[in-house]
Structure 1
């Protein structure tokens, strides 16, 4: 066995399968594109399942990749076990209807055992198989030459996720030797496939050969596929002979950097702190890569996962005596480890560090609040003498404040309390079920259909040069059947040539008509989509007989098409302007180019100011007025990248690409349609800007006719305002509005003075009514003031005049109750606190509140309870 680095293992895997005729697909973003079934890309197959279900036919049926992935369903085990990670790399090779079991098994064996590749000793390899998979057993036994004691039959070796492709699998295990034998020789788990540390699973080969149908039956797939997965971290731990994944070169540089930051704790000293090192090293990898791929911390979805990982890592940092933001300092180390294959972290290092540091600082501001809540829980349980922290309370600390369960347990035990693990697990399972239910309506992988994949006719797009052409009808499809003619209803058709653009890259499809040889319209084109093999599939409404093999005239709706291309070119201008104003770290996250508007989604950490929007709009319009030429060329992908062409979000590019160049100012890879000069756009207007998710924002804009209409509507609104203000010209609206605003502010000041005067007059009467509770003097009264601010003004007067020991005031405002309590310094020394008093009386008005020992306030939605609250204040002081 060779001594290899993780980077060498990854590259060796890809080189091996490239030598076997596989196309190497780059690792996709951790954030899924057009896949609502996944929160994260969680496996190598997740990025190629479009090939498995037949919705897209790959250029090469043999594919291999190294895919970064995230799974968080077992986050509690990260750091505790040798193998659990949130982010990991899956090495995979896939066959889409090409080779099957024989080749897949031989490829795996050659890669693992050949001296030209990994070079494992074959005697240390074991395999598991599905008991009914006689073919796999035969290949392992007769062709590979494994003895029966190295082949283990396991009933669970059948890959099935419900409806969709499924089939038996075979797993490959490495015998790590006697030193890892943590079980007795006669332990029933002491075998390849059992729960032990000696036999480590390193590769799983799935033979996808059945469709699992919704009625729970299985039928053979039209096209049998291979899906394999080998965890890089696992195989590297075997090659580098480390006890866990964390001692490999994928994690140790991060752990060593954590040691430098901690200064007080070293890795390997004791199990408890080793867990914290591992958790931090694991979580910072996931954070750095996810943020580099466009995800940002928030309170929901992917952002919630990131916030939870960050807070969990920071809490473990405290166990290592790190009491300040530090995770951001590890980003560069993560980037350097992975840079040979994943340059994105170092390319966006400054941005990733900024996001993590900002989130850490925010967490440290709130962590004291979480500790205070835990202190309150302990005090409450102590008073109730239960000596047990409930599962729901533990979950709240864990879920809301990021407190690890073990930290809650440690603090509780130090105070002599137990923790309700069972209740906590019940809450966790309920959360997992909510997450599963949120995605259960979406099918993870579609049933494989052979109908569209059978289409083998040619279809050429000619819409770059013409919007009307004569073309032969090559294929007709109606009611999921191939037919020779149709005369009504809806159908799908493919022509040998078409000027109709298929929806792609955010640009909507063209519409138009199909005309027969007599000049009559025989169908309208409602939509155009790409078939699995790339043909242009027109969805049509049939008006008159259409026959396969006949020639027709295809005519695109020119007005609609021209409006679309104006918006598409404007989208490119906006993309470039956005980067100039906000910075290069803002990347496109989706777009829609329609005839009446354009929509541009992008990643951005923070808010967008009105000035920034105005600057973007100004830049785009300046480029329009400069009448810049818009040129397109077709070239290879490497040349395009050397030109500085930007790739659009979610697009998959082949070797040959189309580059749209706007006077060398904006250069993008794009297969869409565009104007010939920016002046054709006319004018550009941003309608709105908003946040649509964690770290993702959206700009809606219009051009040309729609932009004119937008300006005209705004002009009409100003004209209405001028009419209301009785002004002769709309140019006077702003000055008049400012004048009225000043008058309003002056009147508000006068009202404030009047209200204060009335409050002072009330104070004279209220402060005379002093009551007693034991040896305490207090005032409890309802007053007629407008808000809490005036209650505080009365409390200030009470304090200055030293009228009584305690003050309780209430008022009704806008259908709600406001309460205020104040306590003199001498009375506080006796143990009476305003915060305690407000908590006692606030429930009477169906509210809550808090504050300092000397002053506290509360709000409630039941003003009818004010009198009861004032009475309760007296009873509380008596007690």
Structure 2
């Protein structure tokens, strides 16, 4: 039956919308509407009731999605969230509400569902902030899209909105197709979906044609069996060649010196790219030659070693000594640091922080996470401090293998969207972090040495990115920063301790000098205006002054035009200057001449001559 139908029976009502939960939300919508339009009293007509019900239903959906870490975006579940949210706003718009009303519905929802779902209470302010941002963005989209749609509708005589119009609304303005369809239904029109699909396909084909990426032959390989990965405990191993592929992905029995290809081994210490950690590089040594491994990837249960045969001839069934290069250690430092960073963000910023992607390389780490606003400098400092605290504590990394269900029950974090097998590896770092992870890690956090965040930026709606360094790279960054500070202090003839106050003093002096320079420029312009007046000529009863002024900027030129217009009283002024090797034109027309000539048209006309 479902919870709401049971509630309807228990509360002796005939519709889910009549139960106490929905009634509270619907009354809240009506209060917002009455506050905006006190004169509007008829809210019981069928169309208004439908919109109020949609709003009440959709506020629950979007609030729970955001509380669970989903953020509005243009793909996946984020797009589902965006569509639900925008549909609710559209129904508010039909009732006469502005797009920015929807976040006000979070409080009424928390009032009726907060006791049963405490997460709504703890996440309330963040949910409201996410909704506000999305509302503001959609307000612009709605205004632009509706204007274009109304313009298009005024030009069509048929009962169908052309597919190219729907596509332009979607592609150029981000106007959802289902919203266009809603408006079409309201006006008794249909949508040319076939035309829309055709335009979409054409754009997709154009994008693919423009792509310069090389072909990936991995998907074409037919590889059977399973590679035994031994790289958790070692970086060298003895192995046998199971299969060989040439550069085009075609199976071969032999690779010759200078030839690029793919080597498959029965066992390998090389980690295959996964979970954000890049694939290992290294060497495969064999009698009479060697194969340089430039990357390691995985297909099914098989590790693929991409590279080039440096010397000799390598055949199937040959014995090789596999050796991962020293970059593995730096990669392990960064991967463990990524786990510490994730845990620290959840403690400092909030438990809603969820990993959305990562890159773990030898020289840096990159961590993408769900959050609706930039971190403050204090938050970045606190996250960094917390991670370094765990590094100094030299926590032990413990790996356990168990079922995904057991791991979840134990409290390990799993990444939404990742595929896990019957057994998973759970990495615990002291009591600070516990995550499912198949990557390679250091035994103790002290091996990381130092952790440093170097940037924090937004990369998509609701998604932030942190780039950071660890180990030697972090130490070198700190040393370079120290050298830059010393150089800056030397240039300003001060010491590091007084650098900030010296900079503030220098900026204030610069600001005062710029003000004085502008004053002198204005004074110069005033004196020039008197000289220029005599150059005005009479054309058909109108005084016209056109001149080139050297050594002034655009701002001064504008002031000069205004002064000349005041002195001419009736006339047209056109001034030109060259600034940064660009021609600047500024025209002015006194009010009593605007019926004869537009300053904008004059500038456009002259610009085409130049």
Change (3 A) 1:424 1:576: same
Alignment of 1:286-685 (within 5 A): 294-296=70-72, 313-323=88-98, 325-328=100-103, 351-361=126-136, 363=138, 400=173, 432-433=200-201, 435-437=203-205, 452=222, 455-456=224-225, 458-471=226-239, 473=240, 475-479=242-246, 489-516=259-286, 522-532=290-300, 534-539=301-306, 541-542=308-309, 543-544=311-312, 546=314, 552-557=320-325, 559-648=326-415, 650-685=417-452
Separation of aligned partners in 2, 1:769 and 1:311: 61
- The separation in 1 between residues aligned to 2:92 and 2:391, in whole angstroms, is 53
1:691 corresponds to 2:458: yes
Deviations 1:393-451 (A, max 9, x none): 9998886495976999999x9xxxxx9x99999996786355433665699xx999896
- 1:741 paired with 2:507, answer yes
**Alignment CA distance shift 1:336-1:481 (3 Å):** farther
Q: Secondary structure at the match of 1:671?
A: coil
Distance 1:440 1:616, change over 3 A: same
Deviations 1:670-696 (CA, angstroms, capped at 9, x unpaired) = 111111222211222333333333333
SS class of match (2:234): coil
**Mapped contact 1:297–1:359 kept (Cα < 8 A):** no
1:704-853 superposed matches below 5 A: 704-718=471-485, 721=488, 727=493, 736-761=502-527, 786-788=553-555, 791=558, 812=576, 814=579, 815-818=583-586, 840-846=598-604
Aligned CA distance change for structure 1 residues 621 and 424 (closer, same or farther; 3 Å): same
How many angstroms does 1:568 deviate by?
A: 0.9
C-alpha deviation, 1:565, in angstroms = 0.5
Question: How far did 1:597 drift?
Answer: 1.6
Distance 1:600 1:374, change over 3 A: closer
Deviation of the 1:329 alpha carbon: 5.5
Per residue, is there more helix in 1 or in 2? 2
Checking the alignment, whether the CA contact within 8 Å between 2:412 and 2:435 is kept in structure 1 is yes
Shift of 1:521: 5.5
Report the secondary structure of 2:46's partner residue. coil
TM-score relative to the length of structure 2: 0.69
Residues 301, 631 of structure 1: alpha-carbon distance in 2 compared, 3 angstrom cutoff: closer
Q: Structure 1 residue 748: deviation in Å? A: 1.2
The answer to whether the aligner puts 1:269 opposite 2:46 as a matched pair is yes
Note closer, same or farther for the CA distance 1:627–1:293 as it changes in structure 2 (3 Å cut): closer
Q: d(CA) in 2 for partners of 1:789 and 1:410?
A: 56
Following the alignment from structure 2 to structure 1, what is the Cα–Cα distance between the partners of residues 203 and 106?
Answer: 29
What SS does the aligned partner of 1:741 have?
helix
Classify 1:505/1:427 alpha carbon distance in 2 versus 1 (closer, same or farther; 3 Å). Answer: same
Q: Deviations over 1:805-830 (max 9, x none)?
A: 8897765564333456786xxx9xxx
Q: CA deviation at 1:596?
A: 1.7
Question: Cα 1:308–1:481, aligned 2, differ >3 Å: closer, same or farther?
Answer: closer
- With over 3 angstroms needed to count, the CA separation of the structure-2 counterparts of 1:475 and 1:647, relative to structure 1, is same
Alpha-carbon distance in 1 for matches of 2:484, 2:242: 53
Distance 1:743-1:287 versus aligned 2 partners, 3 A rule: same
Q: Distance in 1 between matches of 2:561 and 2:251?
A: 85
For residues 234 and 333 of structure 2, what CA distance do their matches in structure 1 show? Answer: 17
Residues in 1 aligned to 2:535 and 2:58: alpha-carbon distance in whole angstroms? 62
RMSD: 5.9
Question: How many residues were matched structurally?
Answer: 565
Preserved CA contact (<8 Å) 1:255 1:277: no
- Residue 805 to residue 746, structure 1, CA distance change in 2 (3 Å): closer
Whether the aligned pair in 1 keeps the contact of 2:227 and 2:267 (CA below 8 Å) is: yes
The answer to which of 538-547 and 252-261 deviates more is 252-261
**Contact 2:291/2:307 (8 A) holds in 1:** yes
Distance 2:439 2:597 in 1: 64
- Judged with a 3 Å threshold, the aligned counterparts in structure 2 of structure 1 residues 818 and 562 are, in CA distance, closer, same or farther, namely same
DSSP 3-state at the match of 2:273: coil
- In structure 2, the partner of 1:224 is none
TM-score by length of 1: 0.51
Corresponding residue SS for 2:387: helix
Instruction: Give a deviation string over 1:534-560, Cα, whole Å, max 9, x none.
Output: 233334544445565565433222x21
**Rounded Cα–Cα distance in structure 1 between residues aligned with 2:244 and 2:109:** 52
Query: Would you say the 8 A contact 1:325–1:360 is kept in 2?
Result: yes
